[in-house]
Structure 1
Amino acid sequence: MNFKNIVKSTKRNILLFVGLFFIGIILFNSFKGPQAAEKSPVPADRNLVKEHLIALTQTPRFRNYKNLDQLNTIAEYIHQNFNKYSDSTSLQEYQVGEETYKNVICSFGTENKKRIIIGAHYDVCGDQQGADDNATGVTGLLELARMLKGQKLNYRIDLVAYTLEEPPYFRTENMGSYIHAKYLKDNNIDVYGMASVEMIGYFKDEENSQDYPLGILSWYYGNKGDYITLAKKFGGGEFVNNFSDHFVEANQVKTETFTAPQFIKGTDYSDHLNYWKFGYSAMMITDTSFFRNKNYHQPTDTLATLDLKRMTKVIDGIFLSLIHLQ
C-alpha cells in the first residue's frame, strides 16, 4: 500500500469513528423508556389554536419586513392577546433605517428574579402565509399566555414575539431576538435559559418523509417525520438539559432530542442563535423545518398542511416543562 492509500484509509477510519461517536452521543442523550402521558392542568385548546392561526395567516398582505403596516397589525393582535392574561405586557421598539419594528413581550411569575425566555418570530420570508414558519410558534406563545395565567412558577417566564427573523435580516444585528438578547446582557438580567419555538405544526407518518443534515442520523431517528425535536448544542447548559428532561417526561408527543455541534446544518437556524451569542443556555423546539416540511418558505406553507392535534400537544409539553422546572 502506498502513502496516498494509507492516508485515504486513515481518513475513512477517522470519519467512521467520528460518525459512530456522534451516533453514540445521540443515543446517550435521547434514550427514554416507556411512560404514561402526563395530564395537563390547563390543556392547550385546539379551537383557540386554529383561531390564532387563521388570524395570523389570513391577512390582507403578507407579514414580511416590506409590509410594515401588516407587521404592526400582527404585533397589535399579539399584544392584545397577551394583555388578556399577563399583568406585564410591553413593546420593545427599535429602528432599522427609517422604520420602527417591534418585539412584543409579556411576563408571568414576575416575583421571581431569574427568568426564562420562550420566543417565536412573527414575520415571514417573502410573499407567503408562513403557517408553519412561524405562525405555529407565535400561536404557541399565545396559548401559553392563556395557560400560564395564575400558575405558581419558580421562574419568571417572558414570552417574546420577535420581528425580523427572516431574510434579509437573518444573522444580522437587526433581528428582533438579537435586540432582545443584547438588552438582557447589557442590563445584567439574570436569565436561566431560552427556548425558540420554531415551526411546531408539520408532521408526517409516511416512510421517507424525514430528511437529515447527515444521512447517518436516519439510522437512529428513522425516516418518518412523526416527532418533535428538541435541538441543542454540545455544552448547551443546565437549562436546556433540565427543560428537555421535563418535556420528554411529560410525554405529550413523540419527542427526539438532538444534540450536535453548532456547525451542523440547521442547528442554529432560529432566534436561539442570538442568545448563544451572548452566552445564554438556549435551544430550539422544532418539527425540523425544511428537513421535513417542503413547504418551507413557499406559498404552499398554509394552514391546511398542519397537524393541529400534535401541535397542541407540543404546546402542552412546553407548558408542563415550564411549570415543573425547579
Structure 2
Amino acid sequence: MLLLHEGSASAQSDTTLIKSYLKTLTKTPQFRNHNNVDQLNLTADFLKTIFKKSSDSVSVQAYNVDQKTYKNIICSFGTENKKRIIIGAHYDVCGDQEGADDNASGVIGLLELSRLLKDKKLPYRIDLVAYTLEEPPYFRTEFMGSYIHAKSLNKSDTEVYGMISLEMIGYFKDEPKSQTYPLGILSVKYGNKGNYITLVKKFGSGEFVNQFSKNFKAGKNILTKTFASPPSLPGIDFSDHLNYWKFGYDAMMITDTSFYRNKNYHQKTDTMETLDIPRMSKVIDGVYNALISLNP
C-alpha cells in the first residue's frame, strides 16, 4: 500500500467536458443495457464521434449475440508501433439505471485520454477500447465485448505490453466507515474512508502492470492505494481485465472499489450527481501521466 497526497501534479483533464459527457451518456431516452440495442448503438456512435476528433484510427468491432449486433469501439494512437497497450472500459449498464459510476465514469476516462493523447509521439501503440456487454447476463461469458477483443488479439498474435480496465472511477467519500472490504481485516491496513483510488492487480503481475503502477503513484495526482491478491479473492476480477488474464496478458484494474464503497452500484441512484468530478479528473490525469512516462 502506498498513500500519496493529492494536488502535486498539474491538471490535464477538463471537468467541464467530463460533466457534458456524463450528461450525454446517462440522461438518455432508454437505458444502455443489452435489451436496448438501439440505445447502445447511439452510445457507440457518440463515442466514435468523440474519438474521431483525436484520432484518424477509429474502428468498430461488431459481433452478434442472439441475432442482435453489438459493438466495441476502438480508438488507436501510435499505430506505427508494434507493441500495444490496451485501455478499456465498458459502456453498457446493468438493468434499468443510468450507470454514472458504473461505468460512464470509466468510458469518460477513455474520451478524455483520447483528447490528451492527440498528436502525441508515442513509443508504443495505445488502443482505447469501449466495450459492450460487460454486465449480466453476459458477465463471465464469451459474449463480453472484452472477451471478443482479447480473443482477437490472441488470434492475430498481437504483441500486447499490458492492459488497464477503468471500472468505476468517480465515487469518493471522506466520511469514516464509508469504505468496506471483502475481508474485514483489510480495513486495518487500508482504512475505512472511501477517499482514494485503487490499483488492483493479481500476484505475479508482469512488467507493464508494475511499471504503470509505479508511475501512477509517483505522479501523486490523487490519494492512491494498491491492492494485490490471488484472483480468487472476491472483487479482484470483477471487470473486463479478467478476459485479458484468460489469454495470458498482463492486466490490471483501476477502480473506486465499486460496491465496497458505492452503495448506488446497480441501482437507479447511480447518477452523475453522486460523483466527485474533480477527483475523477485527477484519476484520468494519473492514468495519462503514467502512460506517457512508460518506456516499454
Normalised by the size of structure 1, how large is the TM-score? 0.89
Matched, 1:257 2:226: yes
**Secondary structure of residue in 2 paired with 1:120:** strand
- Cα separation, 2, equivalents of 1:316 and 1:113: 25
Structure 1 match to 2:61: 92
Shift of 1:106: 0.6
Structure 1 match to 2:124: 155
Answer whether contact 1:154 1:323 (CA < 8 A) is retained. no
Structure 2 match to 1:171: 140
Structure 1 match to 2:208: 239
Alignment of 1:53-72 (within 5 A): 53-72=22-41
Answer whether contact 1:123 1:163 (CA < 8 A) is retained. yes
Q: Which structure's CA Rg is the greater one?
A: 1
For structure 2, list consecutive stretches of 5 or more residues without a partner in the other structure. none
Matched, 1:216 2:178: no
- With over 3 angstroms needed to count, the CA separation of the structure-2 counterparts of 1:148 and 1:33, relative to structure 1, is closer
- Cα separation, 2, equivalents of 1:205 and 1:33: 15
**Secondary structure of residue in 2 paired with 1:215:** coil
Shift of 1:110: 1.0
**Secondary structure of residue in 1 paired with 2:170:** coil
Answer whether contact 2:133 2:139 (CA < 8 A) is retained. yes
**Secondary structure of residue in 2 paired with 1:244:** helix
Matched, 1:48 2:22: no
**Secondary structure of residue in 2 paired with 1:280:** coil
User: Which AA in structure 1 matches 2:55?
Assistant: S
1:130 to 95, 99, 103: 99
Matched, 1:228 2:172: no
Matched, 1:115 2:84: yes
Answer whether contact 2:182 2:234 (CA < 8 A) is retained. yes
Alignment of 1:236-315 (within 5 A): 236-315=205-284
- With over 3 angstroms needed to count, the CA separation of the structure-2 counterparts of 1:33 and 1:52, relative to structure 1, is closer
Answer whether contact 2:196 2:222 (CA < 8 A) is retained. yes
Once the two structures are superposed, residues 35-63 of structure 1 have per-residue CA deviations (whole angstroms, 9 ceiling, x without a partner) of 972335xx100000000010000000000
**Secondary structure of residue in 2 paired with 1:117:** strand
- Cα separation, 2, equivalents of 1:170 and 1:131: 19
What root-mean-square deviation, in Å, do the aligned CA atoms of Structure 1 and Structure 2 show? 1.2
- Cα separation, 2, equivalents of 1:287 and 1:35: 15
Normalised by the size of structure 2, how large is the TM-score? 0.98
Q: Which moved more, 1:60-69 or 1:144-153?
A: 144-153
- With over 3 angstroms needed to count, the CA separation of the structure-2 counterparts of 1:188 and 1:60, relative to structure 1, is same
**Secondary structure of residue in 2 paired with 1:140:** helix
- Cα separation, 2, equivalents of 1:35 and 1:195: 22
For structure 1, list consecutive stretches of 5 or more residues without a partner in the other structure. 1-29
- Cα separation, 1, equivalents of 2:20 and 2:187: 35
- Cα separation, 1, equivalents of 2:78 and 2:9: 23
- Cα separation, 1, equivalents of 2:285 and 2:142: 32
Structure with higher RCO (Cα < 8 A, 6+ apart):
2
- Cα separation, 2, equivalents of 1:195 and 1:275: 10
- Cα separation, 2, equivalents of 1:114 and 1:278: 16
